[in-house]
Amino acid sequence: MDIISAVASVNAIIIALLLINKKGKNVSNKILIAWTFNFALHFSILFLASRAILLQPVNWGFILGIVLVAHTPFLFLYTKSLTQRNFKPDFKNLSYFGFVLIYIATFIPNLMLSQEARMELVYNKQNMDYHTFVPMITLLFCQVYFLIRTIILLINHQHRIKSEFSYEESINLAWIKHIVYGFAFIIVISFIAYGLVSAQIISIYQMDSSIIVVNMILFFYIAYRGYNQRTVYLTKEKPESGQTEIQAGENIDVPKESVADANLSEKDPRMEELISLMKKEKLYLDPELNVGDLANKLGIHSHQLSKMVNSQLNRNFFEFINEYRVEEFKKLATDPKNKHISILGLAMDAGFNSKATFNRIFKSTTGLTPSDFRAGFKF
């Protein structure tokens, strides 16, 4: 198992070098590079400890604890860099790694023990005294704390992008939830394995091997998805003078009506211009249309446009654009000229870029599945 761990460490270093040489690196990529090196050290420790290279196994165990503590702050910081516009790795953000110092402080009583006493704690886990208990609780608290904060970041992000983007694919970061679940799974199996070792049902080697394998699987998933993750916020925006930023999802409770039936005479003239622009130029056919693109066409700030759509149509930007796409699909699907084109093909022609998103939006908008809708027309 130590050889497999060493190979995984080498692979992690190679992946880090690939990320370093990646074109157009952003802050998120740089955080991922540092995190990848942390994984490389993590995987190498089993090999180094088993052969007592440089340090004794118990000292490598101390370093392993530091590496484990750092994983979830890396996850949180990486997620924050993707979900926050103009993110900077300033002192406040880097201070999250202060948990590493807290862990080290809790481990000091353990370091003051004799080598024999520390070996006894590692290999004879019949009783868990404070030398072992306090560092473990610190590690557990750090992991749970940052996993919860990461989930909160993702929930807020997935709500916010619907006020700025007309699509979700590749920017909703749903895959990071899988990372959170992966770390949560590792926490659970670690405690189960620790209990089995304490009961002398399995050996500490078996425990370390099973946990390291799960960590390897999780790492390669992180590396693959992280390498292919696109930047969410491509442009830097500043509010115009006299304007304040509008909170994502801000809404005014007004009756919801279709865009086509909206009474434009009672609305902001800019809304009339917006509706006219959408009808004439069919901007919704762009599958990656965002609020900034549309705001530039109107010559207003993106926050103004988002607020205008929310307050006057009781919709977020995502719903506003995709409603046009649904109507476009209806026109295409009921045109005899298109009877040979598949439903997915028509959805793509209407501006959608995901089958799952199209099916969900169409069903929520019309109450029918796309197949049921098309089956109602006989050519």
Query: Residue 245: what pLDDT?
Result: 38
Query: Helix (H, G, I), strand (E, B), or coil: what is residue 290?
Result: strand
pLDDT in tens, 122-140: 555 544 455 567 788 889 9
All structural domains of the chain: 2-228 (1.20.1070.10), 264-375 (1.10.10.60)
Q: What is the DSSP letter of 264?
A: G
Query: Residue 42: what pLDDT?
Result: 94
Packing angle of the helix pair 130-160, 57-83 (nearest 10 deg): 20
377 has pLDDT over 70: yes
Query: Residue 250: what pLDDT?
Result: 40
| Whole-number average pLDDT of the chain | 84
Alpha helices per DSSP H over the chain? 2-20, 27-50, 57-83, 91-94, 98-111, 115-123, 130-160, 174-198, 204-228, 269-281, 291-298, 302-313, 317-333, 343-349, 355-366, 370-375
270 has pLDDT over 50: yes
Average pLDDT over residues 154-183: 94
**Which stretch of 90-99, 186-195, 344-353 has the lowest confidence by average pLDDT?**
186-195
pLDDT in tens, 75-101: 999 999 999 988 988 999 999 999 999
129 φ/ψ sector (left φ>0, alpha ψ -120 to 50, else beta):
beta
Residue 99 CB partners (closer than 8 Å, separation 6+):
69, 73, 138, 142
Write 252-258 long-range contacts (CB < 8 A, 24+).
252/310, 252/311, 252/314, 253/314, 254/311, 254/312, 254/314, 255/314, 256/313, 256/314, 256/315, 257/313, 258/323
Residue count of the chain, please give it. Answer: 379
Average pLDDT over residues 22-49: 92
Confidence band for 142, pLDDT divided at 50, 70 and 90 = very high
Residue 142 CB partners (closer than 8 Å, separation 6+):
69, 72, 73, 99, 102, 103
Average pLDDT over residues 168-172: 90
Q: In this structure, are residues 198 and 126 in contact, taking their beta carbons and an 8 Å threshold?
A: yes
Query: Residue 123: what pLDDT?
Result: 56
Confidence band for 264, pLDDT divided at 50, 70 and 90 = very low
Report the Cα 133 to chain-centroid distance in Å.
Answer: 32
Tokens 């790694």 sit at which residue?
Answer: 97
Among residues 92, 60, 63, 62, the alpha carbon closest in space to that of 76 is found at: 92
- Better pLDDT: 45 or 253: 45
Packing angle of the helix pair 2-20, 204-228 (nearest 10 deg): 20
- Indicate the pTM of the whole model: 0.83
Q: In this structure, are residues 78 and 32 in contact, taking their beta carbons and an 8 Å threshold?
A: yes
Residue 116 CB partners (closer than 8 Å, separation 6+):
none
pLDDT in tens, 295-338: 999 888 988 899 999 888 888 999 999 999 999 999 999 999 99
Written as six digits, the tokens of 315 are: 């919709």
184 has pLDDT over 50: yes
